[in-house]
Amino acid sequence: MTSQTSDTPFNTSPVLPETFGADKEIQFECKKGISCWNACCSNIDISLTPYDILRLARRMEISTTEFLRDYTVPYEMEKDGIAGVKFRPVEDGTACRFMRPEGCDVYSDRPTACRYYPVALLSMRKQDEYVDRDSWALVKEDHCKGHAEPRRLTIADYRKDQGVDQYDELGRGWRQLVLKKKSSGPSIGRPSLRSRQLFFMASYDLDRFRAFVASEQFRNLFALPEPELLEILPDDDKLMQFSFRFLRQVMFGEDTIPFNETVAAARREKVKEQIRKAENEAAAKMAKDDEDPYAGMDD
């Protein structure tokens, strides 16, 4: 079984079913002065990756927590499953809040979907594998006149031109996680509320995740060597990669970070105790119901 996800920037984009490799030549150019200038940014539906959020928050010199609060809205990426994050458009409108008459106000830190457009990245993976294969599709929308420009280039060159390599590379671990979750379906089941909260924090709110990793609670639970912790904590990119590793443990129970054995044993004992208590309560209730089968019913 394979699963696929796309970085299509706009909901209404009719992604043509045909997919290509990186050597496919396309005809496209977006440049100032084109008749449709800013048309794409006037009606947005843009999903953000963890790295998109990090880049934009750093550019604006605010925390990822503040960025999420002020510039995004969460959405359900998967029915009953994990959450995604989208740009929040302007008040009472559909335009991007970074759109200016002269173009994008955050151009050098614009999100992955904006870089790729009108190309869509399609990632596929086989169930239970972390190896994904990329292919691309071309999005053609009537309002976008860039397709009529004469410039021809391969998708590989277009990706280079748009600087997506770094974005794809740093976001790969997260994309694989999402793909794995989407393709595992009911075998993994609905994640608990706690897992979903951890997924949101570790995926999108790196500054809060940093505080969590630095906390006593985290260090009590996990036996992460001190030098490794000290290397990860101050470095955004390393911390982000670590968050993906952490999420593989949270979402799929993989053994990616060693537990502190004493604490883990105590936790296991606590869970066992809770199960025992629930069983005793259930048994006591059943015994009581047997004594008086009509207990609790009105006359």
Q: Please identify which residue in 4, 19, 24, 34 interacts with ligand SF4, judged by CB under 6 A.
A: 34
How does DSSP classify residue 9?
A: S
Q: Check if the beta carbon of residue 82 is closer than 8 Å to that of residue 90.
A: no
Please tell me whether residue 153 binds ligand SF4 under the rule CB under 6 A: no
| Nearest distance, CB of residue 53 and ligand SF4, angstroms | 12
| Nearest distance, CB of residue 106 and ligand SF4, angstroms | 5
Site for ligand SF4, residues 108 to 147, rule: CB under 6 A: 110-111, 114, 117, 143-146
The token pair that represents 49 in the structure block: 């990756």
Please tell me whether residue 104 binds ligand SF4 under the rule CB under 6 A: yes
Task: Return d(Cα 289, Cα 276) in angstroms, integer.
Answer: 20
| Nearest distance, CB of residue 204 and ligand SF4, angstroms | 17
Identify the H or E element spanning 66: helix 64-71
Task: Return d(Cα 102, Cα 156) in angstroms, integer.
Answer: 27
| Nearest distance, CB of residue 8 and ligand SF4, angstroms | 13
Q: How open is the CA angle 104-105-110, to the nearest 5 degrees?
A: 65
Please tell me whether residue 247 binds ligand SF4 under the rule CB under 6 A: no
Q: Check if the beta carbon of residue 174 is closer than 8 Å to that of residue 48.
A: no
Q: Check if the beta carbon of residue 228 is closer than 8 Å to that of residue 219.
A: no
Task: Return d(Cα 232, Cα 166) in angstroms, integer.
Answer: 19
Please tell me whether residue 177 binds ligand SF4 under the rule CB under 6 A: no
| Nearest distance, CB of residue 146 and ligand SF4, angstroms | 3
Q: Please identify which residue in 4, 19, 26, 37 interacts with ligand SF4, judged by CB under 6 A.
A: 37
- What residues make contact with ligand SF4 under the rule CB under 6 A? 30, 34, 36-41, 44, 46, 96, 98-99, 104, 106, 110-111, 114, 117, 143-146
